Amino acid sequence: MNRTEKYINHVIQEAILNIENNGGPFGAIIVLNNKIISTGVNSVTLDNDPTAHAEINAIRKAAKTLGKFDLTGCILYSSCEPCPMCLSAIYWAHINKVYYASNRDDAHNAGFDDQFIYYELDKPIKDRKIPFENIYRDKAAIIFEKWKNKIDKTLY
């Protein structure tokens, strides 16, 4: 069995175990230099945290373990195609590659509506199901002014 297959088997087992533990049916791991540095399972309902998807949990743990917010060099294995939230988190974390087993159609058939969010992201803001309203933009300009003028800031 090659490494990729071994890691996918691992996330599948994590997902199954998480169902048995009353969590959601998703598991993910993050691998750096052929070593698993974090495991995440979907704990949305267990932790009352709508952001606690397997990939987000794995990313948060890996960053904590490494003591840095940039996961360049890391590979993420997920039991399922990442939803738009997790996909964006993968970009923010600078993960190098993602392997996933089930896809968004499989997730949809199991009752998870990632596709709906992909559609919403594509829409002009005014057509979205959740109204997003831009207000007092001028008032907020001072924030980025202060940010740009801060000399000792940590960029990311």
Q: Which of residues 59-118 bind its own copies (CB under 8 A)?
A: 59-60, 63-64, 66-71, 79-85, 87-103, 106-107, 109-111, 116-118
32 binds its own copies (CB under 8 A): no
In this complex, which beta carbon is closest to its own copies, that of residue 18 or of residue 36?
18
Question: Would you give the DSSP letter of residue 23?
Answer: S
Question: How is residue 102 written in tokens?
Answer: 């089930």
Which of 19, 32, 36, 37 contacts its own copies by CB under 8 A? Answer: 19
Question: Would you give the DSSP letter of residue 56?
Answer: H
122-138 burial by CB neighbour count: b if 16+ within 10 A, else e? Answer: eeeeeeeeeeeeeeeee
Active site residue 81: no
Which of 25, 31, 38, 54 contacts its own copies by CB under 8 A? Answer: 25
**Residue 55 C-beta: closest distance to its own copies, Å:** 10
Cross-strand pairs, 40: 28
154 binds its own copies (CB under 8 A): yes
Which of 5, 33, 35, 151 contacts its own copies by CB under 8 A? Answer: 5
What does the DSSP assignment read for 99-128?
EEEE-HHHHHHTT--HHHHHHHHHS-GGG-
133 binds its own copies (CB under 8 A): yes
Phi, psi of 94 (to 5 degrees): 60, 40
Q: Which are the catalytic amino acids?
A: 55
